[in-house]
Amino acid sequence: MTTLKQQEGGAPSRKGAPRPSGTSSSRGIRKQAAATPWLFLAPYLVLFIAFVLVPIVFGAWISLHTWDYTRPLKPFVGLQNYVELFTPDSRQFANFWGAMQATGIFTLFSVPLLLTIPLAVALLMAKKFPGRNFFRAVYFAPYVLGVAVIGVLWRYLLDNNIGLVNYYMGLVGLPSDIAWTTSTPAAWVALVGVTVWWTLGFNAVIYLAGLQDIPSELYEAARMDGASAWQQFVNITIPGLRPVLSFVALTTLIASVNMFGQSYLMTQGGPGRETRTAIYQIADTGLRNFQMGSAAAMSYVLTLFLIALSLLVFWLFRERKDGR
């Protein structure tokens, strides 16, 4: 990896060196006390078991109970919490599926934009030119700001009356009185747009690293054969980026399905409940209203959706037989 070489000290050049794992058999001969590796692992495993493994199981257990945090009795109800989520006249049904729909809308619009725009940015920056690192940093910069900052900031910029966005839209002859945070579909445009602005640089950087790993000889050979820029893009860039593409698609998908802060801060889930996402609904049900059994069930249903979508991504980007 080219990027690794720029790291200070330490890392030996990877290029041409044999895979270090090939020597692992010699490590086996080197004996240590049986407990040694576990002593190294212990601090991490304590945290990992307590706050990751146990909660995964515990959450499933909670979802089988009517678990109100504020009440002493937590009766076992079997799958009732799940059944309720799928029963149209239950009290959770409309809220939950409304929120799932909101998450779906957000994901549907944000993921394609976050796959394509950062790729375009990365392609623009793939060749060396003066100031490249500066531009790369500029496009990445919003990402280091937290969602709290960007939420508060854009709430201001998108204000109906005094916001920058409406003002400049008016200047160029567009409608200047759009209620970005209090009406749909404008709120969706705002939420997706802000998210794209916020996280575009993250994906672009990963694409860039991937682009740098594609051997330039492939492009040279293609040019010799008279391939157009578009043909090079389709036949070399896209196949060469496949592992990176699938990683970006997966992380973007997971991030979009987990959207919360933007709508919590910019639209407060409104107007009405339209932009209240699944995570918002789960947090509110469990941590505001303390109906933790229901909330846990919701989180497992959402997770199943996410797993199904992830598998779909894996399948879409699977290694086909004739790769390059």
Partner 1 sequence: MSSTVETRTTRTGDPSAKPARKLRLGTLAKIVLLAVVALIFISPVIFMIVTSFKTRPDATSIPPSWIPNPFSLEAYRTLLAPGTNTPVLRWFFNSMVAAIIHSALVVVTASLAAYPLARMNFRGKKIVFAVIVATLLVPPVILVIPNYLLVSDLGWLNSLVAIIVPTAASAFGVFFMRQFFISLPDDLEEAARIDGANRFQMFTRIILPLAKPAMATLALLAFLGNWNDFLWPVYVLFTPEVQTLPPGLSTLQSANAVRYDLLMAGAVIASVPVLALFVFLQRFIIEGVSRSGVKG
User: For residues 161-190, which are near partner 1 according to CB under 8 A?
Assistant: 161-162, 164, 167
Residue type, 220: E
The CA–CA distances, whole Å, from 70 to 166, 180, 286 equal 45, 38, 11
By CB under 8 A, the count of residues binding partner 1 is 111
What is the Cα–Cα distance from 95 to 295, expressed in whole angstroms?
12
Out of 228, 231, 289, 303, name the contact with partner 1 by CB under 8 A.
303
Is the sign of the CA dihedral 48, 50, 55, 61 positive or negative?
Answer: positive
Tokens of 209: 């690293």
Least distance in angstroms from the C-beta of 59 to partner 1: 4
Q: Which of 66, 101, 160, 310 binds partner 1 (CB under 8 A)?
A: 310
Q: What are the beta bridge partners of residue 222?
A: none
Site for partner 1 contains 228 (CB under 8 A)? no
Look at phi and psi of residue 173 and say left if phi exceeds 0, alpha if psi is from -120 to 50, else beta: left
Nearer to partner 1, 83 or 137 (CB): 137
Nearest-approach distance from CB 71 to partner 1, in angstroms: 13
Which residue of 152, 174, 238, 316 would you call a contact of partner 1, by CB under 8 A?
152
Does position 221 bind partner 1 by CB under 8 A?
Answer: no
- x/- track of binding to partner 1 for residues 7-26 (CB under 8 A): xxxxxx-x-----xx-xx-x
Q: Tokens for 49, please give them.
A: 């078991």
Can you tell me which of 110, 264, 267, 313 binds partner 1, judged by CB under 8 A?
264
Q: Does residue 316 belong to the site contacting partner 1 (CB under 8 A)?
A: no
Under 8 Å between Cβ of 270 and 186: no
Rounded CA-CA distance 92/87 in Å is 9
Cβ atoms of residues 261 and 147 within 8 Å: yes
Q: Can residue 283 be called a binding residue for partner 1 (CB under 8 A)?
A: yes
Instruction: Return the residues of window 188-217 that contact partner 1 according to CB under 8 A.
Output: 197, 202, 205-206, 208-210, 213
Quick note: the x/- pattern for partner 1 over 62-91, rule CB under 8 A, is: x------x----------------------
**Cα end-to-end distance, the chain, whole Å:** 20
Under the binding rule (CB under 8 A), the answer on residue 146 touching partner 1 is: yes
Residue 230 engages partner 1 in binding (rule: CB under 8 A):
no
Q: Is 148 in the site for partner 1 (CB under 8 A)?
A: yes
> Which span sits near partner 1 by CB under 8 A: 91-99, 108-116, 178-186, 260-268?
260-268
Q: Report how far residue 182's alpha carbon sits from residue 179's, in angstroms, rounded to the nearest whole number.
A: 5
Q: Is 219 in the site for partner 1 (CB under 8 A)?
A: no
Q: Which residue from 122, 88, 103, 120 is spatially nearest to 274, judged by alpha carbons?
A: 103
Instruction: Considering only residues 33 through 52, tell me which ones interact with partner 1, judged by CB under 8 A.
Output: 34, 36-38, 40-41, 43-45, 47-48, 50-52
| Partners of 65 in beta bridges | 76
Identify whether the C-beta of residue 276 lies closer than 8 Å to the C-beta of residue 100. Answer: no
Q: Which helix (H) or strand (E) holds 67?
A: none
Interaction residues for partner 1, span 102-141 (CB under 8 A): 124, 128-131, 133, 135-141
Q: Can you tell me which residue has the tokens 């009440």?
A: 71
Contact with partner 1 (CB under 8 A) among 114, 191, 282, 313? 282
Q: Which residues contact 211 (CB under 8 A, 6 or more apart)?
A: 122, 123, 126, 237, 240, 241
289 in contact with partner 1 (CB under 8 A)? no
